[in-house]
Structure 1
């Protein structure tokens, strides 16, 4: 189950569970669309993978089996990128021209 992290790990923008602006890598590093596309250029600074839009978790338990935000709430732990601007830039420069499926 996805953590649904509450913020962009770079600019700290709030990314609530229903945000269409949240982007994640395969390890759930979470960034806003602006940071993922413009600053990071679709290169995760941690793993080097690409980003996709984070899925929206339904609010209600539509099947009565314990799902939905009420039963499976999002994370409240805010995370921040551990990488310096220089480290992010180096990886982005190296990988931005390589499609994510080929990295």
Structure 2
């Protein structure tokens, strides 16, 4: 089950469970759509994987299986994989 992380790892923007702009990679690294496309150019800086839209969990299931509250933020900032 997806964690539904609460923020962008790059800019710390809030990404609530119902957000349609949350992007994830195969390891659930979570970024806002702006950072995923403009800063990271579609490639996860952690694993090199591609991003896809994070699905929205239905409200009834969200009550039973709540989203994560653990915030993850890259201390060194976001650097595109190609620039590393």
How does the TM-score come out when normalised to structure 2?
0.92
Deviations 1:23-78, CA, capped at 9 Å, x for gaps: 00000000000000000000100000110000000001xxxxxxx01110000000
The verdict on how the C-alpha distance between 1:56 and 1:31 changes in structure 2, with shifts beyond 3 A counting, is same
Q: CA deviation at 1:82?
A: 5.0
How does the TM-score come out when normalised to structure 1?
0.76
Of 24-33 and 73-82, deviating more is 73-82
Any gaps of 5 or more consecutive residues in structure 2? none
Structure 1: distance between partners of 2:59 and 2:82: 36
Q: Count how many residue pairs are aligned between Structure 1 and Structure 2.
A: 84
Conservation of the 8 A alpha-carbon contact between 1:43 and 1:49? yes
Structure 2: distance between partners of 1:37 and 1:84: 15
* Structure of greater Rg: 1
Any gaps of 5 or more consecutive residues in structure 1? 61-67, 95-103
The verdict on how the C-alpha distance between 1:48 and 1:82 changes in structure 2, with shifts beyond 3 A counting, is farther
Question: Secondary structure at the residue paired with 1:35?
Answer: helix
The verdict on how the C-alpha distance between 1:8 and 1:84 changes in structure 2, with shifts beyond 3 A counting, is closer
CA-based RMSD of the aligned residues comes to 1.5
Larger RCO (CA under 8 A, 6+ residues apart): 2
Q: 1:80 aligns with which of 73, 77, 81?
A: 73
Conservation of the 8 A alpha-carbon contact between 2:10 and 2:77? no
